């Protein structure tokens, strides 16, 4: 195998992201497993692993990354920092034609850069290979529990970003004592839902079926985890067909209000696509039997499926209120308001854990495809732009976006 250099770039997006695609020990493991591969790291004062931690593992620190063949980051790379003619791996946030990143996609094409977008690395069955979803679920569920304690003056958890790691978060959860009969509702069963459930299992909860949850009268706090078939119904006859729902969602409408009348705290961990019916409308929130006082919108689709998510919030200031009377933002402690948690970069609350978990998947599931071969064309199918300055085969639909009015 010919000599190959992999570079870990410094995150340049503002606000600063402390995560890394590979930890120091993971970088060392690459060099040990593949002697023909050198790993270099761009010096950074802000990442969650210090320069010294990389140097201690024998990883070369650089200020100039032009020697690298493959450059790996986490978030979008500022246009001015892109090196022409290289292969990059990062989350570009362009596949949904996000207006603020049209210039980035245009620059990738103009600079003849091959972009392999983590977000679209998928197995042949369509399941995503890599992501930070588990850690979004962990941090988001913790933050939702923290919000509930503040809203009702029950307990006071340390902010998640002040915890060293997931282990410290779980120690903090010992403070959580929910009133008898408190009911928690969660939507979503993927990586995000799994991470949230990991946290919620650490408090004293009874996990119920959807049917049992709606009629629950017990004293022990209870949780239900819902899938699409529990939340939506066909408009014509009230039925549900999963394949039809995902192929033709306009035939369906929300049936989620009954859970909003039964739950005190709601965690959204679902995937939602534009065109899908909303979960919660303003009309739902105004219903006199509405019960939810805290919504932890971990999925955080602004102006999307949950009417109370007016904007994304920040790690430092994660909560805002939503008035059930005016449908506008208000003090989160205002009576009859909903406290909303809508942080859109939750894994950054536990950057070391999130980075190590992401790096393990990168090492086991992606790096071998780049180095040893890719018989299922997973890398090719995730190649958004090519070194020829063209869009990848699966991304031709982005042509107008890459060269259109969003650039002005």
What does the chain come to in residues? 408
Q: Which of 320, 349, 378 is the last residue of a domain?
A: 349
Q: For residues 344 and 380, what is the distance between their CA atoms, to the nearest angstrom? A: 29
β-pairing, 337-341 with 319-323?
antiparallel
The DSSP secondary structure of 377-400, one letter per residue, reads -HHHHTEEE-TTS-B-GGGGGGHH
Backbone phi and psi for residue 130, each to the nearest 5 degrees, phi listed first: -145, 150
**Are 353 and 166 contacting, i.e. CB atoms less than 8 angstroms apart?**
yes
| Residues 191 and 52 placed together within one structural domain of the fold | no
What is the sign of the dihedral through the CA atoms of 158, 164, 169 and 174? negative
The DSSP secondary structure of 38-54, one letter per residue, reads EEEEE--SSSSS-HHHH
Strand pairing partners for 42? 62
Q: Which of 349, 368, 390 is the last residue of a domain?
A: 349
Whole-number pLDDT of residue 1: 47
Contact partners, residue 193, CB within 8 Å, separation at least 6: 137, 186, 187, 225, 269, 270
**Tens-digit pLDDT profile for residues 357-399:** 999 999 999 999 999 999 999 999 999 999 999 999 999 999 9
Q: What 3-state DSSP class applies to 290?
A: coil
- In which domain, by residue range, is 48 found? 4-130+351-407
Q: For residues 217 and 212, what is the distance between their CA atoms, to the nearest angstrom? A: 9
| Residues 174 and 268 placed together within one structural domain of the fold | yes
Q: How many domains does the chain have?
A: 2
β-pairing, 206-207 with 222-226?
parallel
| Residues 325 and 236 placed together within one structural domain of the fold | yes
| Residues 332 and 361 placed together within one structural domain of the fold | no
| Residues 24 and 99 placed together within one structural domain of the fold | yes
**Are 63 and 43 contacting, i.e. CB atoms less than 8 angstroms apart?**
yes
Whole-number pLDDT of residue 96: 87
Whole-number pLDDT of residue 2: 58
* 140: Cα within 13 Å, side-chain hemisphere: 37
Q: What 3-state DSSP class applies to 405?
A: helix
| Residues 338 and 207 placed together within one structural domain of the fold | yes
β-pairing, 206-207 with 232-234?
unpaired
| Residues 156 and 60 placed together within one structural domain of the fold | no
Per-residue pLDDT of the chain (408 residues; tens, 9 = 90+): 458 999 999 999 988 899 999 999 999 999 999 999 999 999 999 999 999 999 999 999 999 999 999 999 999 999 999 999 999 999 999 998 988 999 999 999 999 999 999 999 999 999 999 999 999 999 999 999 999 999 999 999 999 999 999 999 999 999 999 999 999 999 999 999 999 999 999 999 999 999 999 999 999 999 999 999 999 999 999 999 999 999 999 999 999 999 999 999 999 999 898 889 999 999 999 999 999 999 999 999 998 999 999 999 999 999 999 999 999 999 999 999 999 999 999 999 999 999 999 999 999 999 999 999 999 999 999 999 999 999 999 999 999 999 985 555
Please tell me what DSSP assigns to residue 314.
-
Whole-number pLDDT of residue 4: 94
Q: Other CB atoms closer than 10 Å to residue 87's CB: what's the count?
A: 19
The DSSP secondary structure of 132-188, one letter per residue, reads SHHHHHHHHHHHHHHHHHHHTTS--PPPGGGSSSHHHHHHHGGG--PPTT-EEEEE-
Q: Which of 326, 349, 372 is the last residue of a domain?
A: 349
| Residues 254 and 320 placed together within one structural domain of the fold | yes
| Residues 142 and 109 placed together within one structural domain of the fold | no
For position 28, which CATH number holds? 3.40.50.720
Whole-number pLDDT of residue 15: 84
| Residues 249 and 109 placed together within one structural domain of the fold | no
What is the sign of the dihedral through the CA atoms of 140, 145, 150 and 156? negative
Question: Is the previous residue joined to 271 through a cis bond, with omega within 30 degrees of 0?
Answer: no
Please tell me what DSSP assigns to residue 366.
I
| Residues 73 and 221 placed together within one structural domain of the fold | no
What is the sign of the dihedral through the CA atoms of 22, 24, 30 and 33? negative
| Residues 36 and 113 placed together within one structural domain of the fold | yes
């Amino acid at each position: 195998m010919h000599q190959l250099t992999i570079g870990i770039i410094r995150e340049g997006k503002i606000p600063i992201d402390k995560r890394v695609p590979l930890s120091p020990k993971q970088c060392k493991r690459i060099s040990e497993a593949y002697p023909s591969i050198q790993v270099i790291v761009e010096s950074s004062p802000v990442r969650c692993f210090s320069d010294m931690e990389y140097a201690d593992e024998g990883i070369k620190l650089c200020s100039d990354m032009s020697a690298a063949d493959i450059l790996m980051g986490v978030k979008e790379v500022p246009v001015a920092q892109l090196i022409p003619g290289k292969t990059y791996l990062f989350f570009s946030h362009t596949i949904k034609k996000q207006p603020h990143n049209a210039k980035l996609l245009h620059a990738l094409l103009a600079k003849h850069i091959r972009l392999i977008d983590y977000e679209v690395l998928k197995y042949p069955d369509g399941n995503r290979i890599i992501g930070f979803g588990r850690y979004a679920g962990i941090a988001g569920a913790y933050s939702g529990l923290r919000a509930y304690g503040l809203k009702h003056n029950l307990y006071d958890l340390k902010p998640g970003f002040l915890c060293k790691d997931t282990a410290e978060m779980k120690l903090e959860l010992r403070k959580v004592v929910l009133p008898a009969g408190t009911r928690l509702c969660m939507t979503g069963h993927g990586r995000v839902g799994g991470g949230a459930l990991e946290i919620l299992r650490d408090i004293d909860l009874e996990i119920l079926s959807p049917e049992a949850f709606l009629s629950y009268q017990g004293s022990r706090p209870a949780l239900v985890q819902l899938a699409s078939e529990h939340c939506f119904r066909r408009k014509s006859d009230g039925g549900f067909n999963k394949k039809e729902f995902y192929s033709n969602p306009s035939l369906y409408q929300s049936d989620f209000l009954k859970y909003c009348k039964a739950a005190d705290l709601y965690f959204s961990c679902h995937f939602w696509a534009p065109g899908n019916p909303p979960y919660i409308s303003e009309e739902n929130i105004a219903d006199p039997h509405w019960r939810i006082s805290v919504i932890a919108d971990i999925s955080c689709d602004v102006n999307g499926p949950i009417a109370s998510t007016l904007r994304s919030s920040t790690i430092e200031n994660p909560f805002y209120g939503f008035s059930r009377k005016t449908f506008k933002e208000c003090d989160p402690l205002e009576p009859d308001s909903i406290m909303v948690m809508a942080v859109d970069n939750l894994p950054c609350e536990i950057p070391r854990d999130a980075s190590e978990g992401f790096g393990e998947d990168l090492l086991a599931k992606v790096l071998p495809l780049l180095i040893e071969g890719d018989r299922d064309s997973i890398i090719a199918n995730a190649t958004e732009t090519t070194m020829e300055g063209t869009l990848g085969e699966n991304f031709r639909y982005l042509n107008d976006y890459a060269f259109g009015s969003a650039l002005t």
